[in-house]
Structure 1
């Protein structure tokens, strides 16, 4: 009888292994058409699940985009409402989640799941404490050297004082995987679990261990079609830390080296995720477990003459999103528009968990069930007070502003036809025939900014010309 109850619970509410990477852009997976990067484990998850190929991040208001992106994933709410701080451009606002907002793991915990975290939590410790009843090798920083990782053990008090932090020398991706595998192997409870595994790969320093460091021939790595030696105008954050990781103007040889190192980190990460998958199989719970793979944002690595994620081009705002497990169709690549605030509602739907009333994201479950071709007509992304973008899946409008705070940025727009120009190489905004598309997208962006309580909602979307 106990075993029957356990099977019934697993069918209604599957275990969840939620994996989130750092800096993994949406196209850098073999199954998604990238012919260079080697990702056999992610390819397998994609083949046995559903990949949401058109998922974009909501964005961020400081250079550290990872913290607000992770907040969007875990709250399903706009950063303008989920986070606190009188000055919405300061670093506190970029990381601290409002105390009255319920998070994905917190909601799981309240629904009876055992919630356990491993790895990076780039948001405030109070939101972590109310979300997880267990954890291991917890990183409360944005980044570190991969063989010098400052971590905490789980602290039931939720305080995590600095004096209890210690350094781990095992490579970060292996360190976090070791802890995730141990949790799965040791799990003995009848209730389902929610295991949150947050890696710091493939974020720099891109120092993958061998044999991965030598996996890619740096001289033979192809440059992307949108490689540029320098970006043609000031985006508003041209001297942020990420942009200083390579010389300016960009050198083709150096960018090839960066891409090779980036792919090496991804392939190593892929292999470590394989260990998590194998642990689930060895435990006999693989088919009863929902696996979710995503990332906090993408990365340029030489595209458009940029290196970082502090922009709203596709390479930086489009992320991988793979679901595999109960209730998820197999071998499906879905191109419907989605935002990272939709991830929480989708996980909740697949686990039969009620959402908090304040959730703004939309569940993708109707698409999985074949009841809908899409749940969004547009998606938008933000960066600081200098960039906004809107896309309907084909046409994409980027609006650039000049920041009064930093006196950087350019008052202008770009228009791309993503169907015919997925690498965003041809700005079509100056062509008179496209005036209607610009007007339509500009109107949609203005309405979205107002509905999202965007700090720039009262600024014109189309630049004022003299």
Structure 2
């Protein structure tokens, strides 16, 4: 009996110690709960900050997130069944579901969306951003929802400023007894690429370097050669037009950075900066002359699915992670930050083990897809892209060829690598419910001709 009492006493001592780690001492103020600020850019390339590797860009404010937080260099949106890649991308992010399992824009249970989960955990939720090609149920689930599409060049020029103004107004009027979750998602730097004049003045097109992967024409038909985005530049692509488009794109990013800085400064002045988790992401990437392409409807690394992802704030270590992550991973990550339960069926994976400094493998590969005409998988070194409609395959060694210029798939010496990567692709398709065949019995021609007069 005495021995049992000693065991029981020890158990209670351990339990009391654990409780003491999480319950403040009598009279002590409880630790403030994390605020969350998520800035989600539209068509933002994975190298779209100076601190992410583009020395031409001027982005001093967003660079501070990279300098003090965790940068995920291998972040992606999974895929799209439509040309507007941003729609499924944003839906995956707000629901934690993969691309073929997400609801339609006006479908799904609002109680399972990110804002409702955080609201149930005590957060005041605020959204300002575009309404077109967005998950409507998701943004309407915010307690405060302001739609700013800012269509047209004149409206778009002031879009970043208006979005920041709306956030600053909310911060000044919000309920101070609750933590906040802000989702600011302006239609920037998406075309029309128009910023305030002072930001355009920073970039002389003649001084803008082209990508090493710039080409006048894409060498074959990838299944989506004349989608709207591809018509934003003439065929063949010219260095002069491409530099001009890059200069405009950079001006829009610098404008977004400047106005993000206004929000950061307001949080510092209010004393809330040190208690705010800040996330910067893009909904999809964008080609700007690489491989002769000008859209996000492709699976190259500097194409449609590779995105920036930077997270900074309390509890987040500084560094860079090469873990394979998807935007849908933000769903459980923010739930964990807010102390909200993650619903059953969530396919995203929390990034907190990495944010806290763990060397964790989230996934062994990244799988991406576009409509029924492109499928890809990559691991640490190798990247396979399959074009089922024309029975064409590309294999790239990303260690030696990061711009994907040397296709090794037709070299017999790499046949084994092709088979290994194809097996990984098939396994990823099985995991995510993708039954698209990887070849066609009657393939279409590979060659294509640009539309006359464009």
Kindly state the Cα deviation for residue 6 of structure 1 after the two structures are TM-superposed: 11
The structure 1 residue matched to 2:124, chosen from 89, 109, 114, is 114
What TM-score, normalized by structure 1, do the two folds share?
0.85
Aligned partner of residue 129 in structure 2, secondary structure: strand
The alignment status of 1:60 with 2:88, answered yes or no, reads no
Secondary structure of 2:385 counterpart: strand
- CA shift, 1:112, in A, is 1.4
Gap change, CA 1:206 and 1:379, over 3 Å in 2: same
Larger Rg: 2
Report matched runs for 1:186-335 at 5 Å: 186-315=173-302, 316-330=304-318, 332-335=319-322
Equivalent residue, structure 2, for 1:448 = 428
Gaps of 5+ in 2: 1-23, 444-454
**How far apart are residue 349 of structure 1 and its match?**
2.5
> Are 1:103 and 2:90 an aligned pair?
no
Give a deviation string over 1:353-384, Cα, whole Å, max 9, x none. 22111110111211223333321101111111
Say whether 1:47 aligns with 2:47.
no
The offset of 1:351, in angstroms, is 2.9
In the TM superposition, what whole-angstrom CA distance separates every residue of 1:148-184 from its partner, at most 9, and x where no partner exists?
A: 37xxxxxxxxxxxxxxxxxxxx711111110011111
Tell me which of 312, 336, 360 is aligned to 2:347: 360
Match of 1:80, SS? Answer: coil
Once the two structures are TM-superposed, the CA of residue 79 in structure 1 deviates from its matched residue by 2.1
Mapped contact 1:6–1:190 kept (Cα < 8 A): no
Q: Aligned partners of 1:23, 1:279: CA distance in 2, in Å?
A: 27
Q: Retained in 2: the 8 A contact 1:184–1:283?
A: no
Structure 1 gap segments, 5+ residues each:
85-94, 150-169, 403-409
Give 3-state SS (helix, strand or coil) of 1:8's partner. Answer: coil
Q: Does the alignment pair 1:148 with 2:155?
A: yes
TM-score after normalising by structure 2:
0.87
1:197 shift after superposition = 0.5
Aligned length: 417
The answer (yes or no) to whether the contact 1:56–1:339 under 8 Å persists in 2 is yes
Cα pair distance change 1:426/1:5, threshold 3 Å: farther
What secondary structure, in the 3-state scheme, does the structure 2 residue paired with 1:147 have? helix
Aligned to 2:39, what secondary structure does the other structure show? strand
Q: Structure 1 residue 348: deviation in Å? A: 2.1
